[in-house]
Amino acid sequence: MIRCIAIDDEPLALRQITGYIKKTPFLELVAESESALAAIKILDTIQVDLMYVDINMPDLSGMDFVKSLVHPPRIIFTTAYHDYALEGFRVDALGYLLKPISYPDFLKASNKAKKYFEPDNQNKIINNCKNNSLFVKSGYKSVKINLDDILYIEGMREYVRIHLNGEKPVMPLISLRTLEEELPASMFMRVHRSFIVNLRMIQSLDNTGITINDKTVIPVSDQYKEALLKYIRSHSLE
């Protein structure tokens, strides 16, 4: 399922888009918003794969909203005007829907998004960490990540959330297992089916789990506990 948000300041237009999303089998509506400013806060709290964004909105236009995002989800623009098509494709939008929007037109644009999210088109890691960094595709950008900045990595179904020290998380469309295979084992360890930690970021370990530099507590599964304890013992003073 492709996780979607619909953003439009017109209640009737918003209702139409959310209705189209709900009736499309491969789409999942996870949020809706009547303003771009409110949508910014939503994107900070939940994972979104695809945004249906109205361009003409007060306070902050849909175009300026997309340009303000560091790692935006994929975008399909909606508007009542013809004039924005070229600018929309300059920010690598997957589609451009002209109001009034028919369901066949909506489905055609959404199918294009579906093709983008198919497994064969999923993100491939660029770089094998030899330079202590890697590139992943987040949104429509290839983002360089320094391994030293990674706190921990959280698996979220079809994608992962890479939590960084002092920065917003990066969320590439890739499996946790694939990423684990590319990371240096001397620096990163799987401690749970949903978590990989940067061993250098561990502050403490107790019965509740691992505490990371940013004070987050990560659970440790029984199947990974012995390997983690072995690492802790090898780096302990006796």
Identify the residue whose tokens are 């924005």: 84
Listed residue (70, 97, 77, 109) closest to 7, CA to CA: 77
- Which tens digits make up the pLDDT trace of 187-215? 999 999 889 999 999 999 888 899 998 78
Backbone angles phi, psi at 218, to 5 degrees: -105, 130
- Which tens digits make up the pLDDT trace of 44-84? 888 788 999 999 888 888 888 988 887 778 899 998 876 65
| Strand 209-212, strand 217-218: pairing | antiparallel
Confidence class of residue 142 from pLDDT cuts 50, 70 and 90? confident
197 strand-pairing partners: 152, 189
Q: CATH 2.40.50.1020 region(s) of the chain?
A: 133-234
Q: CATH 3.40.50.2300 region(s) of the chain?
A: 2-120
- Which tens digits make up the pLDDT trace of 183-192? 888 899 999 9
Superfamily of domain 2-120 in the CATH hierarchy: Response regulator (3.40.50.2300)
Superfamily of domain 133-234 in the CATH hierarchy: LytTr DNA-binding domain (2.40.50.1020)
Instruction: Note the pTM of the prediction, 2 decimals.
Output: 0.57
Distance, in Å, from the CA atom of 142 to the CA atom of 107, rounded to the nearest integer, reads: 28
> Is the separation of the CB atoms in 139 and 47 below 8 Å?
no
pLDDT, the chain, mean: 84
> Is the separation of the CB atoms in 78 and 14 below 8 Å?
no
